[in-house]
Amino acid sequence: MRETVINNLSDETKSKVNAKPLRSNSFKRLVRENIALFALTLPAILYYLIFHYTPMFGIILAFKDYKYSEGILGSSWVGFKNFEYFFTSMDAWRITRNTVSYAAIFIVLGNIAAVSVALLLFEIRGKLALKFYQTSMIMPKFLSWVLVGYMTYALFNPTLGYFNQLLQFFGFESIDVYSNAKYWPYIIVSVEIWKTVGLSSIIYYAALMSVDPELFEAAKIDGAGRMKQIFAISLPSLAPVLTIIIILAIGNLFRGDFGLFYQIPRDIGVLYPTTDVIDTYVYRGLRAGDFGISAAVGLFQSVVGLILIVISNWIVTKIRPENSLF
């Protein structure tokens, strides 16, 4: 019966019908041959499914007046009132300005520092020295923000801090940075770059290692010095990696590192004008039980981040398609 039906079909339809078993067998063979690789990716898939995709159900809290007694589904809908409350509040401009400003500074100064360190590492020829510098610079990345916060407090403690003791030793008055917000942009930027520059530089160093050594040899023969080689060979070789990293960083332009902005300034209210960002604002909202507003602000972050990634990638695609993310 099946053969009779197939014979009555057109040639194009026959080819589609006959191709289905082939595609099915091909997929099964692909899974069977790569079962070990699929097993290795399973923990990552489960992680993102459990901790990233399943909680997305909570997005509806941004449009509800959440009550503990009524639950998520039982709480009343309020539409965009949570968003309206946030955007009309006195905190909206402050935390948005701080978040975007710090993120932009981190993108510019962080990448300049990482590229500079990578270029310096690339000039080191001794393997033992290279391993020492790489290890010593990467180590801060693995320190928790709690520990870094205590280190910062030991440095800038108003009475016993090393910084103030050094000032007093040279005859200057001590400075209480924990009661003056104007010093914290410099402290936060310095701590962030110190903690992340090592690992970021390794990414650029790996890109430099993939450059054909014959290019540098040819440049030397032509009389090019170190600086000329850097601007003519090294930096153009880093352009694709640098572009992708900047695109991803632009997506986080409205997102701050919670540990950095909470642990380093120690959540002191007088420092909020220069240390309060969207993430710390959301945390205080959750701690106070304002789940609807916190969810609205978090959704605002995610949507804006997605839009920024798409726009920045589109711009790169128009200028230089081979360097785009997708």
Give the start-to-end residue ranges of the domains of the chain: 2-72, 81-323
Confidence of residue 224 (pLDDT cuts 50, 70, 90): confident
Q: Contact at 8 Å (CB) between 250 and 305?
A: no
Considering the four listed CATH numbers 1.20.1250.20, 3.30.429.10, 1.10.3720.10, 1.10.1740.10, the one that applies to the domain covering 81-323 is: 1.10.3720.10
Measure the CA–CA gap between 193 and 42, rounded to whole angstroms: 34
Q: What is the pLDDT of residue 114?
A: 94
Confidence of residue 106 (pLDDT cuts 50, 70, 90): very high
Per-residue pLDDT reduced to its tens digit, 168-206: 889 888 899 999 999 999 999 999 999 999 989 999 999
CA distances from 157 to 54, 146, 150, 153, 179 (A): 43, 16, 10, 5, 11
Q: What is the dihedral of CA 169, 193, 259, 152, to 10 degrees?
A: -10
Give me the residue label for tokens 């959704």. Answer: 299
Phi-psi region of 185 (alpha: psi -120 to 50; beta: other; left: phi over 0): alpha
Instruction: Read off the DSSP letter of residue 124.
Output: -
Apex 286 CA angle, 269 and 179, nearest 5: 10
Confidence of residue 11 (pLDDT cuts 50, 70, 90): low
C-beta neighbour count of 50 within 10 angstroms: 10
More confident residue, 65 or 1: 65
Q: What is the pLDDT of residue 23?
A: 55
Measure the CA–CA gap between 4 and 197, rounded to whole angstroms: 69
Per-residue pLDDT reduced to its tens digit, 42-88: 999 999 999 988 888 888 989 998 888 888 888 889 989 989 988 88
Give the range with max mean pLDDT: 155-164, 184-193, 285-294. 184-193
Q: What is the pLDDT of residue 17?
A: 47
Q: Contact at 8 Å (CB) between 234 and 208?
A: yes
Q: What is the pLDDT of residue 149?
A: 93
**Is residue 235 pLDDT above 70, yes or no?**
yes
Q: What is the pLDDT of residue 3?
A: 52
| Mean model confidence pLDDT for the chain | 86
Whole-number percent of the chain with pLDDT over 70: 92
Q: What is the pLDDT of residue 50?
A: 92
Q: What is the pLDDT of residue 322?
A: 76
- The single-letter code of the amino acid at 273 is P
3-class DSSP state of 76: strand
Q: What is the pLDDT of residue 156?
A: 93
**Is residue 13 pLDDT above 70, yes or no?**
no
3-class DSSP state of 172: coil
Give the range with max mean pLDDT: 98-112, 115-129, 233-247. 98-112
Confidence of residue 29 (pLDDT cuts 50, 70, 90): confident
Q: What is the pLDDT of residue 2?
A: 47
Chain centroid to Cα 163, Å, comes to 31
Per-residue pLDDT reduced to its tens digit, 242-264: 988 888 888 888 888 999 999 99
How many C-alpha atoms does 8 have within 13 Å on its Cβ side? 5
**Is residue 120 pLDDT above 50, yes or no?**
yes
Q: What is the pLDDT of residue 144?
A: 93
